[in-house]
Amino acid sequence: KTLYGRTSSLAYDAQSRSSERFHNQPNQQRIKDEWRERWNLPPTTVSASRSVLASTIHENETASALENVKSKPIYTFGIITDIQYAPIPDGHSYNGTPRYYRHALIAAEHAARHFEDEKVHCVVGLGDIVDGKCADVERWGGNLGEFRKDGDAKRELDESEREKINYRVGHDAMDDVVKALSSYKNGKILHTYGNHELYC
């Protein structure tokens, strides 16, 4: 590995010494310290005469580190991705993967409760909280009637009305997912956009 045009290997320094000189046991510690000084690293402090003490210190540090691992972590976060909720019957993705579109809200609620129970400091949503099929729910077996605001389920919708309702479906679906995640209150939920949000 080269650093500023020089080798950073302890085994060989082309400018001042050969590998044979480095491996000469009496010079080894001094050469290490010279190398560390050149690169502004703290000097080594363990010599052969203090190997027993060094071993004890190492064991104590290891035990302390293991104890810290067992204690409460400094920061925790939850990850949730690809909820892909849509108000349509179960089906398949474009590549044939089974999709449980409505059930996705229940899964999101479960995840939010888990994050709240665990008291994670924040949750990161990695996108695709809704499925792109929200943009045309009738095509995928959904019912536009449940999204009508005029209450007249019998009246035939014209094309512009269908377009407006389809547009609203995706936004309403995002609101439904945000509501499903609302039981997490211990911190913020940070959302990113996925491609499916852009289809809606």
Which residues neighbour 115 within 8 Å (Cβ) at sequence distance 6 or greater?
78, 123, 184, 186
Q: Hey, how many other C-beta atoms are within 10 angstroms of the C-beta on 181?
A: 23
Is 70 exceeded by the pLDDT of residue 151?
Answer: no
CA 20 to CA 36: how far, in whole Å? 19
Q: Hey, how many other C-beta atoms are within 10 angstroms of the C-beta on 146?
A: 11
Which residues neighbour 162 within 8 Å (Cβ) at sequence distance 6 or greater?
138, 144
pLDDT tens figures, 75-108: 899 999 999 999 999 998 888 889 999 999 999 9
At 6, phi and psi to the nearest 5? -115, 155
pLDDT tens figures, 59-70: 666 666 666 656
Tokens of 50: 């203090």
